[in-house]
Amino acid sequence: MLNHSISLEGYKSAGVSKKQLISFEDASKLIAMNAEPLGSEWISLERADGRILAKPVMARRTSPSVLLSAMDGYAVRDSDIADMPASLEIAGKSFAGNGFGKGLPPRACVRVFTGAPVPNGAERVVMQEDVCTDGAFAVFSHPPAKTRHLRFPGSDFSKGDVIAEAGRLLTPQRLVGIAASGNANLEVFRQPSVAILCCGDELVEPGLATFTPDGIPESISYGVAALVRRWGGTIADRHRLPDDLSRLQDAAHTAAAIADVVVVIGGASVGERDFAKQAFAALGLDPLFTKVAIKPGKPVWFGRMGRTYVVGLPGNPTSALVTARLFLAPLLAGLSGGRADDALDWQMTPAATAIAGCNDRDLFIRATMACGCAMPLSDQDSAGQKALADATLLIWQGRGTSPVGANTPIKTLIL
């Protein structure tokens, strides 16, 4: 369940106020403090890709459950091929899923295939390449290899073994092991549901923008929705709204009733039609921070309304997606059962060119990789969208930092 007792109270002693411009580090800590798992649910294995385990998965069977052949060949006793050449009657065949079903007769062998049960009494499998046959008999003319080509019961795992620990992300390779262990249903952390409200009289659906001279294609919500899904959330609703306080209040009330997180895009500045905070405040919003000392994205804000979190993103496309990556992604990572810090995995990467220093705000520079180095994009306009499409990294230049030269390691984050 959400830990709603965690809020700004723990920061009051440090002098952090809901009203003041707070640092990126303090804002990130507030996100992480509130990003507690939402609870768990049982789902089928086929729906489990990308989810996070709430409970460990224990093997319900032993694997292999019987002695199996690791090769196509012939199952034999060592004593029967001790003297070369040896001619043994082929007593039958053993297939995966359809074994020979009997013990190995004296002075005989059984044709076996990879993954097939090895008959009782057999001590090794001789590869088919080392055996000649004349129909009813197999002739062994070469000393067998040291490898016995057997898969012993329990050599992979035993019943009761832990296949995957709680908290593990369910990857394709992990799902293979879980399915092999006999588990068809898993207990995973619940995914946070997200409602997206995008504000602006000027916004129109992308396909209609050509026919609306004063309209601007609404683009941000598509990127934010994709980010939500990437970081473990689901989309409960997505609305484009005019700059109308009453409409926004109604939409906010509805969104809070159906979603764990409401993302409101735009309407967060100081213009006469920027109603986002006002609309949510009327519905009982408890703001945890209202602006952050970063560029781009200073107007980003975060609060709680009952059992629902609210994340306010700036209206400029680059600012919105950068702040969503920095604050919304960690929130969703924690709510879905992971750790908020996992979404902010900063790496040290050489700078491709010299990078200017910063003064009073942390700077997040859009960049791409070039020959193993982080190359800042030439266009850093917060409203730019073509440049945003090319960005793959964020470079973090902290406030008060000096310029850095080319090849100097800098903090980068996959965008």
Q: Is residue 136 part of a domain?
A: yes
- What string of H, E and C letters represents the secondary structure of 189-229? ECCCEEEEEEECCCEECHHHHHHCCCCEECCHHHHHHHHHH
Q: What is the model's pLDDT at position 267?
A: 67
- How far from the centroid of its chain's Cα atoms is residue 51's Cα? 8
Q: Domain holding 167: CATH number?
A: 3.90.105.10
Same-domain check for residues 57 and 79: no
Residue 234 dihedral angles phi and psi, to the nearest 5°: -125, 155
Q: What angle do CA 340, 187, 166 make, to 5 degrees?
A: 50
Local structure of 157: helix, strand or coil? strand
Residue 243 lies in a domain: yes
CA distance 329 to 343: 6
- CB distance 290 to 244 below 8 Å: no
Q: In whole angstroms, give the CA distance from residue 43 to residue 51.
A: 10
Beta bridge partners of 57: 164
Total count of domains within the chain: 4
Same-domain check for residues 196 and 339 = yes
Based on the domain organization, do 182 and 218 belong to the same domain? Answer: no
How many angstroms separate the first and last alpha carbons of the chain? 29
pLDDT along the chain (415 residues), means of 10: 41 51 96 96 97 98 97 97 95 96 96 98 96 94 92 97 97 97 98 95 76 80 96 95 89 94 80 71 91 95 94 93 98 96 96 91 96 94 88 95 94 97
- Residue 325 falls within a domain, yes or no? yes
In a domain, 2, yes or no: no
Q: How far apart are CA 316 and CA 297, in angstroms?
A: 9
CA atoms within 13 A on the CB side of 36: 12
Asked whether residue 208 falls in the same domain as residue 304, the answer is: yes
Tokens of 58: 């224990």
State yes or no: cis peptide before 217, omega within 30 of 0: no
- Which ranges of 54-130 does DSSP label H, i.e. alpha helix? none
Element (H, E) at 279: helix 276-281
pLDDT of residue 268: 57
Residues 6+ apart with CB under 8 A from 251: 197, 239, 241
What is the C-alpha to C-alpha distance for residues 358 and 403, in angstroms, rounded to an integer? 8
The domain boundary residue, chosen from 168, 189, 210: 189
Q: Are residues 294 and 405 both part of a single domain?
A: no
Joined tokens for residue 175? 């799902």
Report the alpha-carbon distance of residue 54 to residue 186 in Å, rounded: 9
264 close to 200: Cβ distance less than 8 angstroms: no
User: In which element (H, E) is residue 117 found?
Assistant: none
Does 210 fall in a domain?
Answer: yes
* Residue 3 belongs to some domain of the structure: no
pLDDT the model gives residue 291: 94
Task: Based on the fold, state whether residues 296 and 328 are members of the same structural domain.
Answer: yes
Q: 295, 314, 311: which is closest to 303 by C-alpha?
A: 311
In the listed set 99, 121, 151, which residue is the last one of a domain according to the structure?
Answer: 151
Please identify, among 343, 370, 398, the residue that sits at the C-terminal boundary of a domain.
343
- Token pair 């619940």 is found at 190
* 3-state secondary structure (DSSP) of residue 11: helix
**Separation CA 359–CA 233 (nearest Å):** 35
Domain that holds residue 298: 9-39+190-343
Task: Answer yes or no: is 1 within a domain.
Answer: no
Are 174 and 263 in a shared domain?
no
Instruction: Count CB neighbours of 129 within 10 A.
Output: 9
Complete edge-to-edge strand list for the sheet that includes strand 193-199: 234-241, 193-199, 261-265, 308-313, 301-305, 286-289
Residues 105 and 181 in one domain: no
Residue 94 lies in a domain: yes
My answer on whether 77 and 51 are in the same domain is: no
- Residue 298's CATH number: 3.40.980.10
Do 268 and 301 belong to one domain? yes
The Cα–Cα gap between 266 and 133 comes to 78
Considering only the C-alpha atoms of the chain, give the largest distance between any 2 of them, rounded to a whole number of Å. Answer: 98
Residues 33 and 177 grouped into a single domain: no
Helix H or strand E encompassing 131: strand 131-133
**The domain that contains 73 carries what CATH number?**
2.170.190.11
Task: Identify whether the C-beta of residue 81 lies closer than 8 Å to the C-beta of residue 66.
Answer: no
Peptide bond into 287 cis (omega under 30): no
Residues 230 and 122 in one domain: no
pTM for this entry: 0.85
Amino acid at 346: W
Residue 394 sits in a domain whose CATH number is 2.40.340.10
Residue 231: both structure tokens together: 């970081």
